[in-house]
Each structure stands twice: as structure tokens, then as C-alpha cells.
Amino acid sequence: MSAATDAAQTAAPAGPGSSVGQSVRDSLVIARRNLIRMRRIPEMLLFGVIQPVMFVVLFTYVFGGSISIGGSTDPQLYKEFLMAGIFAQTVTFATAGAGAGIADDMHKGLIDRFRSLPMARGAVLTGRTIADLVQTTVTIVVLAGVALIVGWRAHENIGKVLCGFLLLLLLGYAFSWIGALIGLSVRTPEAATSGGLIWLFPLTFISNAFVPVTGMPTFLQHVAEWNPFSATVAGARELFGNTMPGVPKTVTGAWPMEHPVWASLIWSVLIIAVFRTLAVRKYRSAAA
């Protein structure tokens, strides 16, 4: 029996219950279906881990002694500056995979089968994004181990460090809803992958992730410091204890850089609220 059939049978309501409870159950069923698929196709997780590991190694050893952080080109300083940015890039680049997965299910007709079931409309998308969050969490755990091997260190207590990773995963979950909307809006998985990456590159590079914003033109400094990606990177650095001496919190007086943890939480919740609504509406209109 296929995973889709298993999900279909489990998703059918067994009796009366609240709509919220039914939605949660249906979402968990779809998440389980996607996690089983990942287990059966381990290369999905393998390739998802290899790319960020390559970024860690390349940025650390190629750029590590060339980029000035607070007036110093000490490679160790750059490692501590860099890793929050690499972690954030990893969780956001998972957006492309989320969009491609949904587009693939649409292309194969699996979404149409789910639509015929008596299940909550948003459960298919919620389950998919939960499964992607689990995969991203595994990737981040592996990546953190690699970061420790190359010399990255956190300087806060374990509670703050875990909060830093949770902040990053929340942003990744928020962006997965953007990926879901893209996946529902295109016709092929290839288009979803391209559409999921084309806007991520400027978002991640016009930020404080890889270089301090002090060297950017003035107008880009404003863009970078109001970028939700930058807020999460700065918040993670603060929680990891990786803030750099000589590098100012903000050069434009931007509120998100003065309060990066709160700004990151606000951005992530706002993105989830907006793009989940749009994605579920797109799903419903396509099903009508």
C-alpha cells in the first residue's frame, strides 16, 4: 500500500470532533507521509546537507583571511561572524525544496487525490511545511557539528544557544510558506525550484550574513538592515554570543538591528500569517 493511500485512510475522520483538532490530525498525517518519503529517498536529505557544508568550508577557508571584521582579518573572528549567516541561509534555502515538493505533488496528481478526501483544506500544506521543518532541523544539527569542527564556538549558555537555533528554524518555517505559495503557482517542479531561489540570492547577500553592512553603499545599508533575514542573523549572533567587537549593531539607526531578536520574531510571525493565508487561499481556489 502506498504512502498516499495510507495518508488517505488515516486522514478520514473517525468521528465528530472540533475543526481545529481535525486540522491538527490531518496535518500530522500529511507530515508523516512526507517524512516516510524522505526516509525512503535518503538522497533528498543527503544533498540538502552537502550544500551548506560546502558553503561553510568554502567561506571559512577561501574568504576567512580576507574579510575585515571590526578592523581585523583574523580568520577565527570571521568564523564566528559567518556561522549565523550560514545557518540562516541554510534554513531559508530549504524554501526552494518545499516549493518543488508541492509542485511535484501537483504535477503527479497527488494533490488532487488529497482534495477528494474529507480533510482540512490547509492540512496538506501545513503537513508539508512541518515535514520540511523536520528535515531542516536535521540539516542544522549536522551543520552545527561541521561548524564546531572548523572552529566556530558559541559563547553563551546552552539555553540561549538553543533559542538562537529556534529563532533560525522559525524563519525557515516562515519562508517555507513562501515556497508553498510558489509551488502552488507554477506548473512544474523545475519552475518552483527556480522561482524559489531567484529571490533568495539577493535577500541573503544584501544582508549582514557574510560581510558587515558598513562597506555597502548607503541605500543598500538601509535595505540590508530592514531585511528580515538580517534581523534573524543578528538575533542568532546575539544569542550565540558571536557579536563582534568594533562592528556596530546598526549604521542607519534601524530598529530591527537594535532589537534583532524581537524583530526576527515579528518578521517570522508576520510572514507566516500572510503567506499561509495566501497559500491556503490559492489551494482552495485551485480545488474549486
Express each pLDDT in 118-131 by its tens digit. Answer: 777 778 888 889 98
270 has pLDDT over 70: yes
Express each pLDDT in 96-109 by its tens digit. Answer: 877 888 888 777 77
Closest residue by Cα to residue 245 from 107, 122, 81: 81
What is the distance between the alpha carbons of residues 192 and 18, in angstroms, rounded to a whole number?
A: 34
- Predicted local distance difference test score (pLDDT) of residue 9: 43
CA dihedral 173, 264, 191, 286 (to 10 degrees): 60
What is the distance between the alpha carbons of residues 246 and 78, in angstroms, rounded to a whole number?
A: 13
Rounded to whole angstroms, the maximal C-alpha distance in the chain is: 66
